[in-house]
Chains A and B, each alone.
Chain A
Amino acid sequence: MLSNYEVFKLLTDLKEQRKDSGKNKHSAGQQNLNTIMYETLKYLSKTPSSRQTPEIVKEFLTAMMPHKLTKAEKLQLLNHRPQTAVEIQLMVEESEERLSEEQIEELIQMVATVLPGDPEQENAAPAEAQIEQS
């Protein structure tokens, strides 16, 4: 299984490579590859995976170890960066039995600190705080 970040990185590198080589990108045969690469990159650049690096992924997986989550569950948390308990319950099977409320809160905190979030979303929050202060 691949994480969204790995596919994102692969496609961005491939795009750079093809830009450098220049010729025959637009031949009929290559059009399919261009289409799928463009659409997939467009989709992935709107997800949290586009802001990750190999170090962040490694840090995240190490931080997840004590929670004993399955590979599929860790992959979904990495790809989606859940911010609420409801999202975590969706991705972790039988989360009410396996995780206490504090553990779910801890997971949300860890996900929010280790994985980079949407800069637009984060800029909106401090701006609101400033308006309240003044």
Chain B
Amino acid sequence: MFVLVEMIDTVRIPPWNFPRQLNEAIAEELNKKLANKVVYNVGLCICLYDVTKLEDSYIFPGDGASHTKVHFRYVVFHPFLDEILLGKIKYCSQEGVHVTMGFFDDILIPPESLQQPAKFDEAEQVWLWEYETDEGAHDLYMDQGEEIRFRVTDEVFVDTSPTGPAAAASGTICDPGLGLLSWWNS
């Protein structure tokens, strides 16, 4: 679910932060820049893990702040393909079932990846699985707030723009064991 990513960046420390310990000021600047943000082709950044190397700090003419090149490692949320994840159903729509994990919201399970046969109930705006047994068909509803286990099929990290989604993942629940936890826990 989480990976450690090595990054290099130049951190700018404004003069009013000079009295602080360099390491602390740098950690704060890096977290301010990256925490809870999606980085293109990397993932959703969570928090700083550690600083591996600090190069010399320079002050450039015209700018009173110091610039330091920092090598550091950051904890990033980046599920690998086919990883099994646990989330909650946010809501259902014609596009599929929208799942959230709290810190990561844009997960969609498209209709083709639901346990088949599946039907969309327009009145209640909810997807349901028409589960056939010898006794007859049971309609298993995918209600809001229910915990759901899914497999990651695709992820897209687009350029972070001021508006619009920055990252999205797609999942599938079309295998035995996937779907609402209540379906498999007897």
Residues on A close to B: CB < 8 A?
Answer: 1-2, 4, 6-7, 10-11, 14, 29-30, 32-33, 35-37, 39-40, 42-43, 47, 72, 76, 79-80, 84, 86-87, 89-91
Contact = CB atoms under 8 A, between A and B. Distances in A.
Give the 5 A-B CB pairs with smallest separation, nearest first: A29-B32, A39-B103, A36-B36, A33-B35, A86-B177
A41 to B, nearest CB: 9
Nearest to A32: B36
A49 to B, nearest CB: 10
B1 A40 contact: no
Given A2-B75, A86-B184, A80 B84 contact: yes
B3 A2 contact: yes
A99 B176 CA distance: 18
Interface of B: 1-4, 28, 31-32, 35-37, 44-47, 49, 75, 77, 80, 83-84, 86, 101-103, 149, 151, 175-178, 184
Given A30-B32, A40-B46, A87-B177, A10 B75 contact: yes
Contacts, number: 83
B75 A7 contact: yes
A90 B84 contact: yes
A35 B176 CA distance: 35
A77 B31 CA distance: 31
Contact of A42 (B4, B80, B102, B184): B102
Contact of A86 (B3, B35, B176): B176
B3 A90 contact: no
A78 to B, nearest CB: 11
Given A11-B47, A36-B46, 14 more contacts: A6-B2, A10-B75, A30-B28, A30-B31, A33-B35, A35-B36, A37-B46, A40-B103, A42-B102, A43-B102, A43-B103, A76-B84, A84-B184, A91-B84
Contact of A33 (B4, B47, B176): B47
A129 B11 CA distance: 60
Nearest to B178: A90
Contacts of B84: 76, 80, 90-91
A98 B147 CA distance: 30
Nearest to A8: B2
Contacts of B3: 1-2
A14 B47 contact: yes
Contacts of B80: 1, 72
A7 B46 CA distance: 9
